[in-house]
């Protein structure tokens, strides 16, 4: 560097912000560290001074003061060695559900300056690594998507004492906050709709019966049909995947060729099942009325577009983020769980 070369501008400091705002350094520090007791007028003055000076907080130093990382983990827990038609990671990224979950979470987390860390747990080794990561304080809280009823992770997560919210009600007694859609009620909507169309020879491709959502959708559907005197219902278990839906639909037609209606427990499975029906010479909805579940992008990718039960995944995920931030901001205070109600979305398949 030559003698007459300009010196690089130094980064703005807390003192610079305080001088521009006309407040104390301590007030600036309280605003930047998220204190809720600062007068709103002072807060605005400090925020304007931050913008004017270009001050960038030292996140490492801030975390030493606040004991927060400004990040939360989205943990996806899957049954070890589930016999499914697609690998775990590939299935996760091909399923519209996960994209909708992330979208809903980010809607709340990004404006709050919170980063989202994706973590997978599908065997004992990955579960151990996850728990070690959480116990070492790398995140402020956890949103957990657990896919099977006997998953030990909710209980282990509770033992870490980290703020946590579950996607779905835990089947084992665990005092964790959860957000759930009423799965049984959603499946009942599908059954009532098919009955209202005059359909009586009804079958279903269920979700996996070791998954709470798969169990609830099947029992809700069968109970609603039984209330109408329809008890001869052929059910074939699927796996919530596109290719699994195609295979299950083929088996269902082999078992019951005279079907006039089918409830498929996820839109993604319905998208796989639809070509099987068309190749079998079935007109939709004239020969077979078809109802799915989720109201995901797969429903509108079907031809004809799929009548389906909508669970508001984005809204549910946004609520999970809000409940988690409440726990992080108010440690030890109880945060109630939330249950959302599904609706039927009518399109041209039924």
- CATH number, domain of 40, equals 1.10.260.40
Predicted local distance difference test score (pLDDT) of residue 8: 47
> Which of 3-12, 189-198, 206-215, 220-229 has the least mean pLDDT?
3-12
Q: In whole angstroms, what is the distance from residue 98 CA to residue 24 CA?
A: 46
Q: Do 81 and 157 share a structural domain?
A: yes
Predicted local distance difference test score (pLDDT) of residue 253: 95
With b for 16 or more beta-carbon neighbours within 10 A and e for fewer, the 184-206 pattern comes to: bbbbbbbbebbbeeebebbbbbb
Unique residue bearing structure tokens 């030493």:
64
Q: Do 305 and 196 share a structural domain?
A: yes
Name the residue with higher pLDDT: 71 or 1: 71
Taking residues 328-334, report their average pLDDT.
Answer: 84
CA 66-157-79 angle, 5° bins: 140
Q: Do 90 and 166 share a structural domain?
A: yes
Burial-class residue 131 by CB neighbours within 10 Å (0-12, 13-18, 19+). Answer: middle
Q: How would residue 89 be classed by pLDDT, with cut points 50, 70 and 90?
A: low
Q: Do 230 and 117 share a structural domain?
A: no
Q: In whole angstroms, what is the distance from residue 151 CA to residue 121 CA?
A: 11
Q: Do 89 and 61 share a structural domain?
A: no
Predicted local distance difference test score (pLDDT) of residue 2: 41
Could you report the per-residue pLDDT of 94-114, keeping only the tens digit for each? 678 888 999 999 999 998 889
Q: In whole angstroms, what is the distance from residue 203 CA to residue 218 CA?
A: 11
Could you report the per-residue pLDDT of 27-85, keeping only the tens digit for each? 888 887 666 678 888 888 988 988 888 877 665 455 545 567 789 999 988 765 454 44
Q: How would residue 149 be classed by pLDDT, with cut points 50, 70 and 90?
A: confident
With respect to residue 7, please indicate whether it lies within any of the assigned structural domains.
no
Mean pLDDT of the chain: 86
Q: Do 90 and 195 share a structural domain?
A: no
DSSP 88-120: HHHHHHHSHHHHHHHHHHHHHHTTTT-EEEEEE
Q: Do 294 and 187 share a structural domain?
A: yes
Q: Report the half-sphere exposure of 296 (CA within 13 A, side-chain side).
A: 23
Q: Do 161 and 195 share a structural domain?
A: no
Q: Do 249 and 158 share a structural domain?
A: no
Q: pTM of the entire structure? A: 0.76
Extract the runs of DSSP E, i.e. beta strands, from 197-282. Answer: 202-206, 234-237, 261-264
Predicted local distance difference test score (pLDDT) of residue 88: 56
List Cα–Cα distances, 138 to 18, 63, 67, 117, 260, in angstroms.
31, 11, 10, 10, 53
Taking residues 215-229, report their average pLDDT.
Answer: 96
With respect to residue 349, please indicate whether it lies within any of the assigned structural domains.
no
Predicted local distance difference test score (pLDDT) of residue 137: 83
Taking residues 190-218, report their average pLDDT.
Answer: 94
């Amino acid at each position: 560097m030559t003698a007459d070369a300009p010196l690089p501008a130094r980064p703005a400091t807390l003192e610079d912000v305080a001088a521009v705002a006309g407040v104390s350094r301590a007030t600036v520090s309280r605003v930047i560290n998220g204190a809720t007791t600062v007068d709103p007028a002072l807060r605005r003055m400090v925020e304007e001074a931050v913008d004017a000076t270009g001050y960038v907080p030292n996140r490492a130093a801030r975390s030493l003061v606040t004991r927060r990382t400004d990040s939360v983990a989205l943990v996806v827990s899957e049954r070890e060695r589930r016999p499914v038609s697609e690998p775990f990671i590939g299935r996760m990224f091909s399923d519209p559900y996960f994209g909708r979950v992330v979208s809903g979470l980010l809607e709340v987390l990004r404006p709050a300056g919170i980063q989202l860390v994706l973590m997978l747990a599908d065997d004992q080794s990955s579960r151990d690594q996850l728990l070690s990561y959480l116990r070492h304080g790398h995140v402020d809280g956890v949103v957990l998507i657990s896919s099977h009823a006997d998953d030990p992770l909710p209980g282990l997560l509770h033992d870490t004492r980290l703020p946590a919210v579950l996607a779905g009600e835990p089947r084992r007694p665990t005092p964790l906050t959860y957000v759930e859609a009423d799965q049984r009620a959603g499946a009942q909507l599908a059954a009532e709709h098919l009955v209202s169309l005059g359909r009586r020879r009804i079958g279903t491709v269920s979700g996996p019966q070791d998954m709470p959502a798969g169990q609830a959708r099947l029992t809700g559907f069968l109970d609603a049909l039984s209330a109408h005197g329809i008890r001869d219902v052929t059910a074939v278990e699927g796996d919530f995947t596109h290719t699994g839906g195609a295979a299950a639909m083929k088996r269902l037609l082999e078992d019951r060729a005279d079907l006039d209606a089918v409830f498929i427990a996820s839109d993604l499975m319905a998208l796989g099942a639809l070509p099987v029906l068309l190749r079998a010479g079935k007109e939709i909805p004239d020969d077979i009325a078809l109802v799915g579940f989720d109201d995901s992008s797969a429903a509108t990718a079907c031809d004809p577009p799929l009548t389906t039960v909508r669970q508001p995944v984005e809204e549910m995920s946004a609520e999970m983020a809000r409940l988690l931030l409440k726990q992080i901001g108010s440690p030890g205070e109880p945060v109630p769980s939330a249950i959302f109600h599904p609706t039927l979305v009518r399109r041209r398949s039924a």
